Chains A and B, each alone.
Chain A
């Protein structure tokens, strides 16, 4: 079945540094990728939607300059948390879909801890 690989699974960084998270679709071309954030014991909150070759669409309240999303190819999207702060510590999950109405496939998430 369709597989989405997310890397790294865990990352610890110091406050003020930037962290890049990769999301790859391994056996299909992902026209659309989504980035979610999940706080402990809470649901997934959509941060942004990215379509290959175009700018990401951010949800209300998500800082586009802080969470940089790049979807340069049909198999790769990246989320860069810039100038990370402890409050950015969270579980970030990407998902991807091939065609317009095909199901979403999720990565295994990235646990970001900012010290």
Chain B
């Protein structure tokens, strides 16, 4: 079955430091891949998405992610973290099937930013 795995439940970084959030996927074919951010008590905001083409994807708020087929990974990165980036981050995969697209979320990574 398709799945998305986020190995890190919590990550703490200092403001200004670089950030990498890990995401691995397991699908029969290359899925569409997404990163979302969720602030407490809020819905999800799309940071970036990968459908095909260039494996390095630029998103909003200075985030980027790199699709690596050989590693089945789609890690999220940011060169310099800001305190406002503290939130929950979800990686998600979507596979087109005859029954329609279905988005599967990872378990999320809680990011804390130390000032």
Interface on A for B, CB 8 Å cutoff? 4, 6, 32, 34, 41-44, 46, 49, 51, 57, 91, 93, 95, 100-101, 103-109, 111
Contact = CB atoms under 8 A, between A and B. Distances in A.
Nearest to B100: A49
| The 10 A-B residue pairs with the shortest CB-CB distance in the complex, in nearest-first order | A106-B43, A108-B43, A106-B44, A43-B105, A43-B107, A44-B105, A109-B43, A107-B43, A43-B108, A108-B42
Interface string B8-37: 000000000000000000000000101010
Contact of B100 (A6, A32, A91, A107): A32
B90 to A, nearest CB: 6
Most buried by A among B43, B103, B105, B110: B43
B43 A42 contact: no
Contacts of B42: 108-109
Given A109-B43, A111-B41, A104 B103 contact: yes
A103 B103 CA distance: 10
A42 B107 contact: yes
B46 interface: yes
A103 B44 CA distance: 12
Interface string B79-114: 000000000001000001001111111111010000
A93 B6 CA distance: 21
Contacts of B51: 101
9 contacts: A34-B103, A41-B110, A44-B105, A46-B104, A91-B41, A93-B43, A104-B46, A109-B41, A111-B41
